[in-house]
Amino acid sequence: MPDPSHATGFTLNTLDRKSAQREDPAFIAALLAAPSSRSLVLSADIPALKRAGDIHDAIFTLDEARAFGDPAETVFLGCHGERALFATRIEGAAHEAAPERDDLAFVDLRTIAAQGLVDPEMIGALSQAKSLLHWHQHNRFCANCAKPSKAAAGGSRRECEHCGRHHFPRVEPVAIMLVTDGEHCLLGRQAGFPPGMYSCLAGFAEVGETLEDTVRREIMEEAGVKIGHVDYFASQPWPFPASLMIGCTARALSSEITIDTREIEDARWFSREETRLMLAREHPAGLICPPKLAIANLLISAWATEKG
């Protein structure tokens, strides 16, 4: 049985991260020398793709990756069977790199995922690469002593040679929740959403909170609705830059909405029938839900198609 999470974007990733073996520098060095090893290539956080007609491929040989110039960082993502997959970040103007290659395109990951330009499993690997390389780029100095740190264990952490402190990549937990009263669900919209789009409310977990408390606090802050029981439903890595969207369902104990206009511009209760029309993009007022790429779509779809 696939996890419900796998129905949404950025979630398929079957790389074996070799957590024990990657501690051994000789293991990583051998993979870096192996002809079968491959690498993803990102310029800042924009993946490079090879194009052959309508086919896009994110996987480069290590020689091809090196041809972009000295990498700013190379990290080990994991193995598919015997084949290792690395991710290489190249500096700055990658669009000008490898000028002899006219089969290259640099396409942001959101577009790659939305348009399904590469295999879904490779979108998961690109997501892992983007978040990890972004973390390395923005954590080059030890947070304890401020001396330069360096990548270790295949890039799964950074170490400070000066004070010995180890630093690990951050994942930022975000609660995203479908609130229902049984017959209606609560959806809101931010000012920056596309016209007519309503989605689940969401917010970052704060220090010292349970996930349930995050859900209750965010809904009270943004919409003034009191929440009772909270259930986990599914999750989604969201590589912008490194969140984990934790999808929940939550039961409303009150119905009056008081909007915090600093966070959202509207929030309303929608019937199942309305959400079905919004998902199908057939709502008479032109209202829509987020696309399948987003976990909000999964949360709303699961509820909309329940018998109610």
- DSSP line for 200-236: -EEEEPPTT--HHHHHHHHHHHHH---EEEEEEEEEE
Query: Which of 90, 142 has the CB closer to Zn ion?
Result: 142
Dist. CA 236–CA 107, nearest whole Å = 21
**Does 162 sit near Zn ion (CB under 5 A)?**
yes
**Does 295 sit near Zn ion (CB under 5 A)?**
no
Stretch that binds Zn ion, among 67-75, 101-109, 157-165, 287-295 (CB under 5 A): 157-165
User: What's the min distance (Å) between Cβ of 84 and Zn ion?
Assistant: 30
**Does 93 sit near Zn ion (CB under 5 A)?**
no
Query: Which of 163, 280 has the CB closer to Zn ion?
Result: 163
User: What's the min distance (Å) between Cβ of 68 and Zn ion?
Assistant: 31
Dist. CA 126–CA 24, nearest whole Å = 24
Q: Which of 163, 171, 253, 280 binds Zn ion (CB under 5 A)?
A: 163
**Does 152 sit near Zn ion (CB under 5 A)?**
no
Query: Which of 94, 160 has the CB closer to Zn ion?
Result: 160
Query: Which of 144, 190 has the CB closer to Zn ion?
Result: 144
Q: Report the helix count and the strand count for the chain, using DSSP H and E.
A: 7, 16
Query: Which of 55, 163 has the CB closer to Zn ion?
Result: 163
**Does 160 sit near Zn ion (CB under 5 A)?**
yes
Report the greatest alpha carbon distance in the chain: 64
Torsion, Cα 40 41 47 52, to 10 degrees, reads -80
Q: Which two tokens stand for residue 31?
A: 């993979």
User: What's the min distance (Å) between Cβ of 138 and Zn ion?
Assistant: 16
Place of tokens 């090196």: 66
Dist. CA 113–CA 123, nearest whole Å = 6
DSSP conformation class of 290: -
**Does 145 sit near Zn ion (CB under 5 A)?**
yes
Residues that bind Zn ion (CB under 5 A): 142, 144-145, 160, 162-163, 165
